[in-house]
Chains A and B, each alone.
Chain A
Amino acid sequence: MAKELVNLVLDYLKTLNVSYGDVRLVRIQEEVIRQENGKVNLIRQEEDLGIGIRVIKDGAWGFAATALLTKEEVMKTAKLACQIAESSAKLKKEDVRLSEITPVKDTYQTPIEIDPFSVSLEEKINLLMECDEIMKKVKGLRKREGELYFYKKYQIFASTEDSFIEQTIYHTGGYILAEAVKGTVTGSRSYPGMIGGHYKAKGYEFIKELKLKENCERVAEEAVALTKARECPNMETDIILDGTMVAIQVHETVGHPTELDRVLGTEVSLAGTSHLTIDKLNKFQFASEIVSITADATIPGGLGTFGYDDEGVKAQKVFLIKDGIFCGYLTSRETAVVLNQTSNGTMRADSWKSIPLIRMTNINLLPGTWELEDLFADTKEGVYFESAGSPSIDDKRLNYHISSEIGWIIKNGKKTEMIRRPSFSAISYELWRKCDAICNEKYWEVWGVPNCGKGDPTQVMHVGHGASPARFRKVKIGG
């Protein structure tokens, strides 16, 4: 039925004189289970089903989408997409051009061991409750929290260029959190340490790999200890960032500014632009020589891992930063033309109702050579930032600010005193130029960020970041 409907739309589009058309039929299932202080306060299963139709007519784009999957409605929607394109064309300067593509007929599925939607609710809730029991034993907590999240997307992508691709993507993840209060001070600690949890393109086996139970006691104790910890002092010092902090830094200061649509101005009205303009490509010393960063939609387990993007372009690995030099962008079929390139396959939409945009895939800082203990031993004075908090950055992606849940003063090569919510601000490329040590692949993890916002209306995308801990010299920290 779904395939028939998609083919019906494609046949209809061909009668409407479109120069290009694509159809995405998307069904997303989500399940979220959440407990707070030993009580489940949220179990919800969500289903989002619909069809999005994108066309180029009269040399301009049009898009229309509907959740009503009847023949009449989807034909009406296809017609609306064409009318909208005709309207766009009235203000065009030149016709939209797309880089070449080889049509594909293929299927892709996230490799999983256990389908998370086949696991009983009881088993999932029992895990959260066992975590709660462990945290409950630690005195002084005000709040104990845990959440599990499961996502499955089935999508058909088909185009008037004869591509027809079926993909099934699974994402799985969760977190635990402990919160303690003393007077007016809150100590908040979570695990696995990334804001909002840790997620992977895996099945339920990832929940087992997360080892939530094994980390409950430590997290709870650290939350209590944080209420007694002092605030981060203001100073200039060396900083060591854990993998989650590095992942968010990669996201905000490399992922977003290398989106070529931003660079070309198409996100000015909301997300902004980028300081990484085309004249800087292959010339700009963005980071120290030890820094190389890729966009890789092929690595196992990343939230930005898939078979094909939402233009039917095969998943790829490309360099954005190589040996410190800014050398690449995330591109689409339309934007790649500006660089005389073909698309590197980063166009994704968060739903049938959204148009595809250039989105991060898995943006990865390649591992270095350091052992973490050697990195501490080599640092005379500094601060270790652990578990990323909320970041903030200007609309050209230069002035970057972030805090972490917890920090540790480093003295004479050792982690010493705990500090509360340390933060720092820096100009992004100046910060990366100060990177002088990156830990090796043993510490490298592909962190999942399930809430990357972009577009207007805002689309929320799942993206990944491979990162290991790294050191940055002489950074101003504190308020």
Chain B
Amino acid sequence: MLKKEQVNEIIKIAKKYLKGLEWEIGIDSTNTGTTRFANSIIHQNMGVHRPFMWVRIINKKRIGSSTTTDLSEEGIKNLIERAINLSKSKYAPKLETSLPKKTKIEKVSKKIVISPKEREEAVAKIVQVCKKNNLNAFGVIHTINSSLAIFNSNGVNNYALLNWTYTTITAMNESASGFSFAIEKDFHKIDFKELANIACEKALMAKNPKDIEPGKYTVFLEEPAVAEIISFLAWLEFGAKRFYEKTSLISKKIGKKITGKNVTIYDDWTNKLTLGIPFDFEGVKRNKVILIKNGIAKGVVTDSYFAKKLKMKNTGHSLMQPAPWGPFPLNLVFEKGDKKKEEMLKSIDKGIYVTRFWYTRVVDPDRTLITGMTRDGTYFIENGKIAYPIKNMRFLINIYETLENVKMISKEQKYYGEELFGVVAPALVIENFNFQSKTEY
């Protein structure tokens, strides 16, 4: 990560080569510590410092863009020269709106640096719990310090410094596995022993899984499974590009019912569970955007280009420009419900309990049809209790139809995702969830 003063120094150097031009510069600098463990030993252990800088030059309304990891003066000069050359092409993309106006937004978290020793000690705790349960420990601890700065020639001057830890644990023996995870801004708030206990409990319950036939079942989906479904809905439905092209279903349903009444989804970087950067990659302040409220389609997120095209407000959801795939909501929240998870489980006579999904892919974007597999803790529910483990299943669902069938929503929510994109998700009980086929374990 780079301190604000270091960023200012880089901008000062860059400005020497940017005279007379409109420009935008982004600097993302990340220090990552990664400790991976498998078979109860540390097998991959890393420390990486990666600064990354991009520039967007506007030269007579034509855009040239380029990126580098070389932040020496020569590297910066080369970066800018490349972008200027690209902007001179008669075919270079046109800037169809102006660069965002002056903003000065800062969010500086206290830097938390985690040493390899601290990660090793955390892994040792996990291994100890797994050993007690005669299970092997697998997983990862990523500790990240990251700074993001966006500047432009109109006076955008935004800087954020973030820390977070992402950890997963898979406890496993030959026939069964169980999963737990945590994403926290402060490494020290993670109870690694407790997380390991959760993974072990799931693995022990998963021994000797039974075969059940594919079909439609009531499901209890834990938060990671819900987050996975909603993240695919985001790619297909919540950005302005497919809305503008009228290919998303939401583009035809604004103001109309699109899911069950109990579903509310919005994007909100201020939610305390998200990692939350207050500005987007053009430097525009992020706004809270309601996407679905009480089952009614409400809107999508925009960036400066699509806001102009759609004559909508710029909501501050640009990705790194040029972004031909359009804007994207990075901080999704599925509104919590009023049920305890125990109550939800008790309500199911017969059904399937899903810990998480794996390798989910879009089968048909027209129908929001997706498929994927269950993984690391799938059980059959009988009379409101987990009765026995079952072999993993392939689901094939239409997301909107699935969100018509949500019967219960938990009070508790968890943040699940990757890097800066995640979903704050509750657990759900859903009826008529379609499992298309099964596997052998």
Contacts and interface: CB of A to CB of B under 8 A. Distances in A.
B322 A398 contact: no
A457 B362 contact: no
Interface centre among B46, B51, B66, by most A CB within 10 Å? Answer: B46
Given A49-B69, A84-B47, A457-B34, A186 B247 contact: yes
B205 interface: no
Interface in B79-131: 79, 82-83, 86, 89, 91-94, 116-117, 119-120, 123-124, 127
Given A36-B324, A427-B439, A44 B67 contact: yes
B39 A41 contact: no
A87 B32 CA distance: 16
Contact of A43 (B44, B64, B71): B64
Contacts of A270: 140, 168
B5 interface: no
Nearest to B123: A91
A92 B67 contact: no
A184 B47 CA distance: 49
A67 B76 CA distance: 13
B358 interface: yes
B147 interface: no
A390 interface: yes
A47 B68 contact: yes
Contacts of B82: 45, 47
Contact of B45 (A49, A88, A390): A88
Interface string B43-82: 1111111110000000000011111111110010011001
B375 A395 contact: yes
A122 B373 contact: no
Given A41-B324, A43-B92, A43-B93, A63 B375 contact: no
A403 B70 contact: no
A299 B364 CA distance: 36
Given A48-B69, A125-B89, A479 B44 contact: no
Contacts of B437: 399, 401, 425
B435 to A, nearest CB: 11
Contact of B48 (A60, A65, A125): A65
Contact of B68 (A49, A62, A121, A143): A49
Given A41-B322, A425-B394, A399 B439 contact: yes
Nearest to B70: A49
Nearest to B372: A392
Interface in A122-147: 122, 125, 129, 142-143
Contacts of A91: 37, 40-42, 120, 123-124, 127
Contact of B358 (A60, A90, A143, A395): A395
B26 interface: no
Interface stretch (A10-18, A261-269, A367-375, A440-448): A261-269
A457 B42 contact: no
Contacts of B372: 392
A147 to B, nearest CB: 9
A394 B69 contact: no
Place the interface of chain B in its size category.
35 or more
A114 interface: no
Contacts of A41: 93, 322, 324
Interface string A390-433: 11111110110101000000000000000001010101000000
Contacts of A61: 43-45
Interface in A167-216: 181, 184-186
B172 A93 contact: no
A395 B245 contact: no
Nearest to A188: B365
Interface centre among B82, B116, B142, by most A CB within 10 Å? Answer: B116
Contacts of B42: 60, 87-88, 90-92
Contacts of B71: 67-68
Contact of B124 (A50, A84, A90): A90
Nearest to A396: B441
Nearest to B376: A395
Contacts of A142: 245, 247
Interface centre among A65, A87, A143, A427, by most B CB within 10 Å? Answer: A87
B170 A390 contact: no
Contacts of B140: 269-270, 456
15 contacts: A45-B67, A47-B78, A49-B70, A61-B43, A63-B47, A68-B49, A87-B42, A88-B42, A88-B120, A90-B42, A91-B40, A269-B138, A395-B358, A401-B437, A456-B142
